[in-house]
Amino acid sequence: MDKFHEECGVFGICCDGEASKLTYLGLYALQHRGQESAGIVAHDGRRFYAHKAMGLVNDIFDEDTLDALKGHMAIGHVRYSTYGSTVIENAQPLVVNNHRGGLAVAHNGNLVNAGRIRHKLEEAGSIFQSTSDTEVVIHLMAQSKRESLIDRLTDALTVLKGSYSLVMLTEGKLIAARDPRGFRPLVLGRLKDTYVVASETCALDLIEARYVRDVAPGEIIIFDENGLQSYSPFPKEDHSFCIFEYIYFARPDSIVFGQNVYTIRKSFGEKLAREDDIEADLVIPVPDSGVPAAVGYAQTAGIPFEFGLIRNHYVGRTFIEPAQGIRHFGVKIKLNPVKQELCGKRVVVIDDSIVRGTTAKKIIGMIRGAGAKEIHMRISSPPTTHSCYFGIDTPTREELIASNHSIKEVSDFIGVDSLKYLSLKGLMDSANQTGLSFCNACFSGQYPISVGEDVDSEVIQLVLFPKRSRAMGAV
Ligand code: SF4
């Protein structure tokens, strides 16, 4: 489907005798955040046990692989890729052994200055195992000359620019860290005496852990058998929670940034209806992501809600298409119209976003082919006009249809009778019911941090080459 894609989901647990099995369940619940690879690293106090592979969680792990992942602490990761190509070397958690006993890292987000830092580290002699931006965290920690774990981690994270929700295992401890702007979500839960961290609360729900709170932006939490220690070593920054978590990425049953996703997604549909005045016979969602907004739209507009498109939930990722003869098979294998509901009707179709417009065009063609009299497409977010640099896989700006076409041109391209988007103000008012602060750069172009690699080179210099920096008078 033609969507923005979430990059990754992370999970961590301390301390439980079934740490790897609970991590497996957590990753299972987070599968929607990444389907290209998955991995678990466990630690028994002496050594790491790792298993990762390309594919879905359910295909990668079985009883035997989980039994081999021994220990009372574990971290896990599901990955869709953005930075770095899709190869097993980039599957996470990344694990390295060093003189301090090793380090395992799983990362959700994107480090916009990773390329530059990597270049500096390679100049200084570091050898990288992967092309993933996450690996710079490991090398930066190894370069830090400071003694304590929290100081070395603070040194490393001070240099990084961009988004990160991290879980790590090292020196008999589990670590959770979130960037000072809090782009990507990270929650803290409790399962009796066990601590759990996860990208979304749906992972806590599956293992019957209780949601305690979010890991705060800029917070580092270190867990061990004695409990947790919380640190806030960075200067406070304005928050930039990713608004797209509410529009599409997160599961609707999750609490993200302290609010239930289904409720917020439905309120987008309610707002969209209040901004609209179309007369129609029924409202249908593009399943699954358009469903909550369509419910909100239909209830507010007083128009009957129906499932006019049925989704096949059993489509694998490796469907083999015949080379000749059948065109546009991809969307048809996933969605099929209910002709009896659509024929002769004036239909409002609700989806969460339009990216390139190619999938919307095919869906509208199917609904038209089912005999709909009028088709009015309504989108529960504003036009996506800019790429994301903070952990979301997006096309280039030129490929985003709304970046270089008017709404009328997009409407003509996808073949609808009318097209409307939720206004940016409507989106922000609906999401911001409790005074939160969001990133909306893919709609507004207003990036909360500069997306070039122009990070303060003196900061990099200080962490990587402290002696040389002092000699140069940088402190
Ligand atoms: S640019 Fe869009 S997708 Fe990226 S973090 Fe900001 S709101 Fe989320």
248 CB under 6 A from ligand 1?
Answer: no
The alpha carbon torsion through 256, 212, 206, 182 (nearest 10 deg) reads 30
Cα(21) to ligand 1 centroid in Å equals 32
215 domain-assigned: yes
> Distance from the CA of 162 to the center of ligand 1, in angstroms?
11
The answer on 330 and 187 residing in a single domain is no
Q: Take atom 2 of ligand 1 and give the residue whose Cα is closest.
A: 442
pLDDT tens column, 177-216? 999 999 999 999 999 999 999 999 999 999 999 999 999 9
| Ligand 1 centroid – CA 133 distance (Å) | 18
- Sheet with 162-170, strands from edge to edge, namely 94-96, 103-111, 162-170, 173-178, 220-224, 227-231
Whether residues 277 and 223 fall in one domain? no
CB of 388 sitting under 6 A from ligand 1? yes
- Assess whether pLDDT exceeds 70 at residue 156: yes
- Ligand 1 close to Cβ of residue 244 (< 6 A): yes
Span 351-374, average pLDDT = 96
Task: Assess whether 394 and 364 both reside in one domain.
Answer: yes
Residues 281 and 206 in one domain: no
Question: What is the residue range of 102's domain?
Answer: 5-239+452-471
**Are 103 and 40 part of one and the same domain?**
yes
Over 60: is that where the pLDDT of 460 sits? no
Roughly how many angstroms between the first and final C-alpha of the chain, as a whole number?
51
Evaluate whether 45 touches 172 at the Cβ level (below 8 Å).
yes
Ligand 1 centroid from CA 474, angstroms: 35
Residue 14 in any domain: the answer is yes
- The three-point CA angle 284-365-399 to 5° equals 95
**Residue nearest atom 4 of ligand 1, based on CA coordinates:** 388
Give the ligand 1 atom nearest the CA of 394: 3
Q: Which atom of ligand 1 sits closest to the CA of residue 441?
A: 1
The three-point CA angle 18-24-25 to 5° equals 95
Q: Is 232 within a domain?
A: yes
Question: How much is the pLDDT for 450?
Answer: 85
Task: Look up residue 152 and give its amino acid.
Answer: R
Whether residue 113 is contained in a domain is answered as: yes
The CB of 440 under 6 Å from ligand 1? The reply is: yes
In this predicted structure, what is the pLDDT of residue 80? 84
Mutation choice for ligand 1 from 442, 446, 450, CB with most ligand atoms inside 8 A:
442
On average, the pLDDT of the chain sits at: 90
Cβ atoms of residues 376 and 278 within 8 Å: yes
pLDDT at 121 over 50: yes
Predicted confidence at residue 324, as pLDDT, reads 55
Which range among 75-84, 127-136, 238-247 has the greatest average pLDDT? 238-247
Reduce the secondary structure of the chain to three states and give it as a string.
CCCCEECEEEEEEECCCCHHHHHHHHHHHCHHHCCCEEEEEEECCCCEEEEEEECCHHHHCCHHHHHHCCCCEEEEEEECCCCCCCCHHHCCCEEECCCCCCEEEEEEEEECCHHHHHHHHHHCCCCCCCCCCCHHHHHHHHHCCCCCHHHHHHHHHHHCCEEEEEEEEECCEEEEEECCCCCCCCEEEEECCEEEEECCHHHHHHCCCEEEEECCCCCEEEEECCEEEEECCCCCCCCCEECHHHHHHCCCCCEECCEEHHHHHHHHHHHHHHCCCCCCCEEEECCCCCHHHHHHHHHHHCCCECCCEEECCCCCCCCCCCCCCCCCHHHHHHEEECHHHHCCCEEEEEECCCCCCHHHHHHHHHHHHCCCCEEEEEECCCCCCCCCCCCEECCCHHHCHHHCCCHHHHHHHHCCCEEEECCHHHHHHHHCCCCCCEECHHHHCCCCCCCCCCCCHHHHHHHHCHHHHHHCCCC
Is residue 14 among the annotated active site residues?
no
- Evaluate whether residue 402 is within a structural domain: yes
Mean pLDDT of 76-98: 81
**pLDDT for residue 6:** 66
Ligand 1 binding pocket includes 447 (Cβ within 6 Å): no
- Beta carbon of 82 within 6 Å of any ligand 1 atom: no
The pick from 392, 400, 436, 447 for probing ligand 1's pocket by mutation, whose C-beta has the most ligand atoms within 8 angstroms, reads 392
**In the block, residue with structure tokens 């089912």:** 370
Residue 265 Cα to ligand 1 midpoint, Å, equals: 16
- Percentage of the chain exceeding pLDDT 90: 74
Q: How much is the pLDDT for 323? A: 58
pLDDT of residue 359: 92
Task: Write the residue with the smallest CA distance to atom 8 of ligand 1.
Answer: 242
372 belongs to a structural domain: yes
Which pLDDT value is given to residue 456? 47
Does residue 132 sit in the same domain as residue 20? yes
Are 276 and 421 part of one and the same domain?
A: yes
Contacts of 64 (CB under 8 A, 6+ apart): none
Ligand 1 centroid distance, CA of 99 (Å) = 38
Residue 246 Cα distances to 134, 374, 382, angstroms: 25, 29, 13
Q: Which of the residue ranges 232-241, 306-315, 465-474 would you say has the lowest mean pLDDT? A: 465-474
pTM here is: 0.91
Q: Are residues 105 and 41 in the same domain?
A: yes
My answer on whether 415 and 303 are in the same domain is yes
For residue 475 the two structure tokens come to: 């402190």
| Any atom of ligand 1 within 6 Å of the Cβ of 442 | yes
- Decide if pLDDT at 130 tops 90: no
444 falls within a domain: no
Distance 190 CA to ligand 1 centre (A): 29
Alpha carbon nearest to ligand 1 atom 5, residue:
242
Domain containing 341 — which CATH number? 3.40.50.2020
- CB of 443 within 6 A of ligand 1: the answer is no
The verdict on 368 and 419 lying in the same domain is yes
With a 6 Å cutoff on the Cβ, whether 441 touches ligand 1 is yes
Q: Are residues 54 and 167 in the same domain?
A: yes
How do residues 252-269 score in pLDDT, each as one tens digit?
999 999 999 999 999 999
Asked whether the predicted pLDDT for residue 1 surpasses 70, the reply is no
Tokens of 190: 């409790």
Closest ligand 1 atom to the C-alpha of 389?
Answer: 4
pLDDT at 41: 98
Q: Give me the percent of the chain exceeding a pLDDT of 70.
A: 90
Average pLDDT over residues 283-293: 96
Strand pairing class (282-285; 438-439): unpaired
Same domain? For 21 and 156 the reply is yes
Decide if pLDDT at 361 tops 60.
yes
Residue 398: predicted pLDDT: 87
Cβ of 243 less than 6 Å from ligand 1:
yes
Phi (first) and psi of residue 164, to 5 degrees:
-155, 130
Average the pLDDT over each of 179-183, 432-436, 466-470 and give the range with the smallest value.
Answer: 466-470
Domain count, the chain: 2
> Which residues are bridge partners to 168 per DSSP?
105, 175
Average pLDDT over residues 392-420: 93
Give tens-digit pLDDT for 366-401.
Answer: 999 999 999 999 999 999 999 998 988 788 888 899
pLDDT digits (tens, 9 = 90+) for 219-256: 999 999 999 999 999 999 999 999 999 999 999 999 99
Average pLDDT over residues 33-45: 94
Atom of ligand 1 nearest to the CA of 387: 1
CATH of the domain at 460: 3.60.20.10
Q: Is the CB of 242 under 6 A from ligand 1?
A: yes
Provide the β-strand partners of residue 177. Answer: 166, 220
Please choose, from the candidates 260, 242, 243, the residue with its C-alpha nearest in 3D space to the C-alpha of residue 251: 260
Of the candidate ranges 201-215, 402-416, 422-436, 450-464, the one whose mean pLDDT is the lowest: 450-464
Q: Do residues 384 and 353 make contact, with C-beta atoms less than 8 angstroms apart?
A: yes
Q: Tell me whether residue 439 is in a domain.
A: no
